[in-house]
Structure 1
Amino acid sequence: MVLDKKMKHIYWLLFLAVLASPQWAIAQDEDDEEDWSMYEELELVDDSNVKRYAKPTIVGLSPTRFLSVSWDMQMPYDMSLSAARFPASQGTGWGVDESAPISETGTVNFTGGFRFNSSIPIISKSNIVWQSGLNYMRVGYNISDIQADGNASGLASILNETGLNNLNWTNTFYVPMTEENFFIFQGLLDMSGNYGFSLQPFNTIRWSLAAVYGKRVNERKRWGLGLARTYRVGNLNYVPVVMYDVTSADRKWGTEILFPARAHGRYNFNKNSLLLFGYELEGQSYRIDEFSFGNNSFEIRRGELRPRLEFQKQIPGPFWAHFQAGYRIDWTFNADELSGSREFFRGFFGTQDFGMINSLGNAAYFNVGISFVTF
């Protein structure tokens, strides 16, 4: 076969390329030893002195929500309210052991509304993680069949018209000390009440604080102990904190516990879906403008216990959807009048009078939402 000039040029180019390749050169020069003396001045990296820190999570936990929007809704229940007594802060209210007569009743057809939560990393290093977020929760009411006597405060009508709002700023700091030990600090500022576009006075903003010492035992277990100043059940309280997160060896079962605020068991169907089962305490102290005279602040201590199931599933991209179904149990809906808007601690043994003594019927509730997450 006679090759034309074009084909001959192609074969020569291929032949020269093979000769020039490193693999071919090595094969042809097997007797040439490499000069290792050029590496004598280099030292192997010694990482024995590198400080390691406890990681902020363990395997198997439900994903961390950076941004989340949801809708919360409670089924119908009955509401019973006492008369309001002023000034309760001077011992003219309802005594803590007193059975206050009912002055106002109503049927609450709907309770709930829009919720927004955020937790944005500000600093994310091996030796400190700082996350900050603004949160909003709307508790709207639709109340019918309001029955009131001459002593009624009119609170049912106020709630029906304005509802309750909570604006919250949360900062969380994760500070590891060693490869196992760490601290978690969290501070919260809450503005809660029936305010609208005109915000409430600065001195009625309530603050909470928590500090936890923890130990990351291994990649599947961590625990912690601490103390919190909290409004989780409406009233100001000081409570011990117990954290216990664990994942089984097969990564199917686990716990996510931050007692007493919340405690859940967990079942991971797969890496894209899981089920939480347990409870959460929810609440805050809400200022009612219409009853806050002078420099005093009249506040509803809303607190509720929520046993629940929550199913979480990944949808396209870094987004997860969640669906909660549970039972809302009324913990407290009583009210206090705070002299000079200054908070006080009643605890289990305080004798400060209540401004109102109220009760809500228990109800089933649902919450559905979508979140931008990370693991």
Structure 2
Amino acid sequence: MSMALFLAGLVPLMAQDDDDEDWDIYGDLELVDDSNVKRYARPTIVGLSPTRFFTLSYDRQLGYDMNLSAARFPASGNTGWAVDEDAPVSESGRVNFTGGVRFNSNIPVISKSNLVWQSGLNYMRVGYNISDVQSQPDASGLTQILDERGLNNLNWTNTFFVPISEQNFFIVQAGLDMSGDYSWGLQPFNTIRWSLAAVYAKRVSESKRWGLGLARTYRVGNLNYVPVVMYDVTSADRKWGTEILFPARAHGRYNFSKNSLLLFGYELEGQSYRINDFSVGNNSYEIRRGELRPRLEFQKQVSGPFWMHVQAGYRMDWTFNADELEGSREFFRGFFGTQQFGMVNNLGNAVYFNIGISFVTL
């Protein structure tokens, strides 16, 4: 769990999921030759993977071991586990299946030369099948909760592209997430978690763009504030390139043709999930799920605007610890906070696969 102290809670400018929104969603804005009309930046560059307007995919991890501590109440009262403490295992089991359906959307609302607004609803299911459960008397019963209900994330994201010159532009993105086991239907509204990011970017040429910004994010579970670096480039022959939105994801790219390509790199994924059975009164008990996913992804045009993708990689446990939030109010632990955890949990790493189909724009 030491990596969690270094990058816990890092997020891209979108909420968690493997089909996060790319910066090239905005298309080429029309330039007017009239010298009296202000010219605006085109944020895209040549060679990038196609932008996904709608995506339906299925994600699955192979088997691994799960070890969970007892649940401490109230964790916020310093009766939980210290950040650097190895809590004793109270419950363990073999996870035979992890995964589920994912849906992502990214719809244009306003598309003008000086303003583009995109909005999207997204859903991610993380189901579990757990066997060979071994429990101590103080076990929390989380294995049964995960086995019966799984974890769910409903996200609404709005992204605004604002060009300020022929080369320079801003991107501002705001997201709301309602995440949990959904045992009572949707979670209470006071457990909605929000993310916000702003990036200043420059389109240097038709084959290179970069950007710097700051994000408030839950990408790997805990709330954090992190710098963001965007760097996309395409080689002169349009075969090789990069698609980087650090620290959320970083990929190299090889274009076989205009209809197929390969991405290779990593992505961070996660969110903060409320467990209703452990949430006492107005407090919210939340699993801080975070994963690091080194991966390969092959994308190919199927027909017209429909593309498919096949992704394979290695899911590495970043954090699966839990926090109890007094009054459901979030707190900031950051990299150096010493707040107690309500649970200290460990998941074995696993190979994973993701396959999906998208409606795209090139």
Fold shared by both chains (TM-score > 0.5) = yes
Structure 2 residue corresponding to 1:356, chosen from 335, 338, 343: 343
Distance in 1 (CA, whole Å) between partners of 2:39 and 2:238 is 25
Alignment partner, residue 7 of structure 2 = none
Q: What is the CA distance between 1:196 and its match in structure 2?
A: 4.4
- Whether 2:166 is the aligned partner of 1:179: answer yes
Cα offset for 1:97? 2.0
Rounded to whole Å, the distance in 2 between the matches of 1:121 and 1:156 is 41
In structure 2, what is the equivalent of residue 331 of structure 1? 318
% identity of equivalent residues: 82
Alignment length, in residue pairs?
331
Corresponding position: 1:148 with 2:135? yes
Aligned partners of 1:323, 1:282: CA distance in 2, in Å? Answer: 17
Q: CA RMSD in A?
A: 1.0
* CA distance in 1 between partners of 2:341 and 2:137 (Å): 20
Corresponding letter in the other structure for 2:181 = N
Alignment partner for residue 78 of structure 1, among 65, 69, 88?
Answer: 65
**Structure 2, unaligned runs of 5 or more:** 1-31
Q: Please state how far the C-alpha of 1:374 moved relative to its aligned partner.
A: 0.2
Is the counterpart of residue 264 in structure 1 residue 251 in structure 2? yes
CA distance in 1, matches of 2:79, 2:50: 50
Q: State how far apart, in whole Å, the 2-side matches of 1:46 and 1:253 are.
A: 32
In the alignment, which of 65, 71, 76 is matched to residue 89 of structure 1?
76
Letter in 1 for 2:236: A
Structure 1 match to 2:28: none
- The one-letter code matched in structure 2 to 1:52 is R
Could you say which structure has the higher helix fraction?
Answer: 1
Q: Would you identify which runs of 4 or more consecutive aligned residues in structure 1 move more than 4 Å?
A: none
Match of 1:118 in 2: 105
Could you tell me which amino acid in structure 2 is paired with residue 55 of structure 1?
A: R
* Correspondence for 1:365 among 348, 352, 357: 352
Aligned positions of 1:21-32 closer than 5 A: none
- Distance apart, 1:167 and its partner CA: 0.2
Residue 139 (1) aligns with residue 160 (2): no
Deviations 1:259-307 (A, max 9, x none): 0000000000000000000000000000000000100000000000000
Q: Distance in 2 between matches of 1:364 and 1:194?
A: 24
Structure exhibiting the larger radius of gyration computed from Cα positions: 1
**Higher RCO (CA < 8 A, seq sep 6+):** 2
Pair 1:286-2:273 in alignment: yes
- In 1: Cα distance, 2:348 partner to 2:33 partner: 65
Q: Tell me, what secondary structure is at the counterpart of 1:203?
A: helix
Distance 2:36 2:254 in 1: 39
Q: 1:144 to 1:215 in 2, by over 3 A?
A: same
Gaps of 5+ in 1: 1-44
The letter for the 1-side match of 2:166 is E
Q: Assess if the C-alpha contact under 8 Å between 2:183 and 2:276 holds in 1.
A: no
Q: Distance in 1 between matches of 2:120 and 2:334?
A: 29
Q: Helix, strand or coil for the counterpart of 2:140? A: coil
Which residue of structure 2 aligns with residue 201 of structure 1? Answer: 188
320-329 or 93-102, larger mean C-alpha shift: 93-102
Q: CA deviation at 1:239?
A: 0.5
